[in-house]
Amino acid sequence: MTILATLPLAVLPLTALEPEQGAAVLLPDGTSAAVFLLHDGSVCAIGNLDPFYGAPVLCHGIVGDRAGTPTVASPLGKQVFCLRTGRCLDDPGVTLPVFGVRVDEGVIQLSTAVNVGETALWTS
């Protein structure tokens, strides 16, 4: 799989995020990504729409870990998603889009969704 070098979907300052508190980022198509600054300083971004409810809320979920894997829990139905792969750990058939993230000089750039799979997060 090739990741096309395109313009970033969105940019925002790293200071807009607080550790383990997600934020929604508006994307050009009107949808949103849920972006998270983890405890270790890395940044992840997944689709913000809760697939079980169709509501744009995953950015408000509680960030934590399951056996070391960074996760977010849906604030509505409490299903837990892996922040690195977008996979729902409580319902393996469900996977969220994962966005490419580059952090450069205190600026976060989101790029198109990395097709999900076990692909590691595309990050700096």
In whole angstroms, how close is the CB of 62 to other proteins at the nearest point?
4
Site string for other proteins, 63-102 (x = CB under 8 A): xxxxxx-xx-x-xx-x-x------------xxxxx-----
| Touching other proteins, residues 21-60 (CB under 8 A) | 21, 23-26, 30-32, 35, 39, 49-57, 60
Tally of helices (H runs) and strands (E runs) in the chain: 0, 11
Cα–Cα distance between 19 and 56 in angstroms, integer? 20
CB 34 within 8 A of CB 48: yes
Q: How many other CB atoms sit within 10 Å of the CB of residue 29? A: 7
| Residue 104 C-beta: closest distance to other proteins, Å | 16
How far is C-alpha 69 from the chain's CA centre?
A: 14
- Per CB under 8 A, residues contacting other proteins are 10-12, 16-21, 23-26, 30-32, 35, 39, 49-57, 60-68, 70-71, 73, 75-76, 78, 80, 93-97, 113, 115-117
